[in-house]
Amino acid sequence: MAFLAMDDSFIAGLPKAELHMHLEGSFEPEQMFAVARRNKADIPFASAEDVRRAYRFSNLQDFLDIYYRSADVLRVEEDFYDLALAYLKRAADDNVRHAEIFFDPQTHTARGVAFATVADGILHALKDGEARFAITSKLILCFLRHLSEAEAFATLKQAEPYFDRIAGVGLDSSELGHPPSKFARVFAAARSHGLKLVAHAGEEGPASYVWEALDLLHVDRIDHGNRSLDDPRLVARLVAGQMTLTVCPLSNLKLCVVKDLKDHPLKRMLDLGLRATVNSDDPAYFGGHVNANFAAVAQALALGKSDLATLAKNSFLGSFLGDAEKARHLAAVEAYAAAPGTNRIRREP
């Protein structure tokens, strides 16, 4: 049946922030081969097409296994610089004006790569990316939740010289069996240093993990948060606090969090008054960057121009930018959405 969908050109021109993207998840197979060649590192695949064929996941752990293995070819500062610069260039093409980028230092330090090698390479690229592509950014250090509290504390210690250049800490990796409570003391320490706090919760894990992220970790944002909709009292709490949810539709589809994008909760989230945003999570693995995520949900959920503008505004409201920068970006979204010629619709077969 035919239905109306926003023209993708509206999405392409919409100014937006990306708040949930793992740098290691932007590692495209072609770049992986180039870096592996440079470092004389082995890849257990014959070609980039071969790598892409392996990207069939039935849950989060399936994906994480291959994601950590691919990161093994990243060895020197230049590798992290190239990875971050490539992401910023690609994000700027999607009219991302500001990106808050996750990195997983433990994936690298566990292999003998120094924390400074990783952080210096990324930070150098963020500086160059702003000058070259007019995209601002902030860096968020994620703790791997399948590792111990002690290992997270050791990583926080390694990050200390970078506290002036790292906006915050997050929590990612295997969610089930690793509740936020495991990291309450590490997050309290990070908070005492003035760092912002985010955590993956309610992706595969239950609504109780979202409660824990709020009440025990005191997070500033929830990454994913899909399972919050199982608990009306939690929804009320998230709406009342205008807590940002960094939602990742194509990730949810690829990791079987939803069976079909038509079942995706994003539209329900918006209708409930939740501050939802759209993000790519791991764009090299899940079939697209942020505009592809916008386009896919716009089509599957018949989102209109005002929903899309709300999502873009939410991305700036939920960012860790200062008030003046937020106001400038919000005004740009409003001006764009109100401009004639951004209102086209097309009929989908």
Q: How many residues bind Zn ion (CB under 5 A)?
A: 1
**Under a CB-based contact definition with an 8 Å cutoff, are residues 27 and 71 in contact?**
yes
Q: Determine contact, residues 251/282, Cβ cutoff 8 Å.
A: yes
Residue linked to tokens 């509290």: 149
Q: Give whichever of 186 and 222 is closer to Zn ion, judged by the CB atom.
A: 222
The CA-based dihedral angle spanning residues 302, 303, 305, 309, taken in that order and rounded to the nearest 10 degrees: -170
The dihedral over CA atoms of 182, 283, 111, 50, expressed in degrees to the nearest 10, equals 130
Calpha distance 241→244 (Å, rounded):
9
Output 257 or 321, the one with its CB closest to ligand ADE. 257
Shortest Cβ 281–ligand ADE spacing (Å)? 5
CB of 224 to Zn ion, least distance (A): 7
Residue 155 binds what, of ligand ADE, Zn ion, none (CB under 5 to 8 Å, by partner type)?
Answer: none
CB nearer to ligand ADE: give 11 or 60. Answer: 60
Spatial contact of 319 and 326, defined as CB atoms under 8 Å apart: yes
Of the pair 152, 309, the CB lying nearest Zn ion is at 152
What are the residues facing 277 on neighbouring strands?
246
CB of 52 to Zn ion, least distance (A): 20
Per DSSP, the three-state class of 344 is coil
Where does this chain bind ligand ADE (CB under 6 A)? 22, 25, 60, 172-173, 200, 203, 251, 281-282
List binders of Zn ion among 249-308 (CB under 5 A). Answer: 281
Shortest distance in whole angstroms from residue 324 CB to Zn ion: 29
With CB atoms as reference, the residue minimizing the distance to ligand ADE is 172
Residue pair 10/347 in contact (Cβ under 8 Å)? The answer is: no
CA 114 to chain CA centroid, Å, is 24
Residue owning tokens 């392409």: 12
How far is residue 327 from each of residues 21, 231, 298, 336, 340, measured CA to CA in Å? 23, 33, 25, 14, 22
- d(CA 301, CA 313) in angstroms, rounded, equals 19
- Find the shortest distance in angstroms from Cβ 304 to ligand ADE: 28
Task: Answer yes or no: 203 catalytic.
Answer: yes
| Catalytic residue of the set 77, 203, 204, 212 | 203
Comparing CB distances to Zn ion, the nearer of 318 and 333 is 318
The catalytic site residues sit at 203
List residues near Zn ion by CB under 5 A. 281
